[in-house]
Amino acid sequence: MLNDKDIKELKKFAKESRINIVKMVYNAQSGHIGGALSSCDIMTVLYHKCMKLVPKWTKDKNYESRDRFVLSKGHASTILYSVLAQCGYFKESELMTFRKLGTMLQGHPFPMCLGVEVATGSLGQGLSLSCGIALSLKLDKNPAHVFTLMGDGELQEGSCWEGFMNGAHHKLNNLTAIIDRNRLQIDGGTETVKGLDNLEEKIKAFNWNVIVIDGHDYNQIYDAIELSKKSTDKPTAIIANTIKGKGVSFMENQAGWHGKAPKQEEFERAMKELEAL
């Protein structure tokens, strides 16, 4: 359970990241805002309170024991870049190079960026990549944990369910999949495009632990992640119910803000709302 000081600090980081997300996409006039904003609170808690971070440049002998993170929903890269900058992987001034020619901050994460483990963005592959990493860690008797953030729309990809089956088969208790359940994708509602309910029961049927939470409640996020690290015999899926576009009123629950940049008037309005948080 987080204390009041922790929550106050996390809210500050999350506010900063939401501002960064909108600024980055506006500056590039390209990118994905909605799903980055919906996963902002999850990523804030994960990176600032739950993951063991050992940056490579520190030449720390414990580098290989670092926790691994895979952004399966790679189009939401702006939130990953924001938390990496907050954690000191690169200067925050680099954020405004997002999607520029030659930048390490590509539209989808690539290992040329410090803190990025694998290239992602082809939806449906992140969970399988994470299973492979988790299995190799177990074989090496490495205590590190693997976290992957998935979009709910990408669960319509069959390869995700191969990943669920593989994770359970190998008893990958060192793997946690966090699902950003905002119920919207580029073509509209997930239940209209290709229904996923009852998602909890589906994943349980693949022999995973399943925890359902409010993806904007810091205590619920923290407690679920910490509980997932204590599993002894199977991987864990955290279904985080979220609001797409969270934090900007005219973007919230609007599928149209999945992957477009705001115009100047929209940007100024969004900044005003976010600064007031």
Q: What are the helix (H) ranges across the chain?
A: 4-28, 34-38, 40-45, 77-86, 126-139, 158-169, 190-194, 199-205, 218-228, 264-275
pLDDT of residue 58: 77
Where b means 16+ CB within 10 Å and e means fewer, 226-247 reads: eebeebeebbbbbbbbbbbbbb
* Both structure tokens of 6: 């922790």
Structure tokens at 26: 């506006």
Are the CB atoms for 236 and 228 separated by under 8 Å?
yes
Domain with 24, as residue range(s), is 4-275
Tell me whether strands 209-214 and 188-189 are parallel, antiparallel or unpaired: unpaired
Rg (the chain; Cα; Å): 18
Residue 56, pLDDT score: 81
**109-139: pLDDT as tens digits:** 999 999 999 999 899 999 999 999 999 999 9
What's the total number of domains in the chain? 1
144, pLDDT greater than 90: yes
Amino acid identity for residue 228 in this structure: S
Tokens of 18: 């939401």
Place of tokens 């483990």: 117
Contacts of residue 58, defined as CB under 8 A and 6 or more positions apart, other chains included, come to none
Kindly state the average pLDDT of the residues 139-149: 98
How do residues 6-61 score in pLDDT, each as one tens digit?
999 999 999 999 999 999 999 999 999 999 999 999 999 999 999 999 988 777 78
Q: What is the mean pLDDT of residues 150-158?
A: 97
CATH of the domain at 115: 3.40.50.970
What predicted TM-score, i.e. pTM, was given to this entire model? 0.97
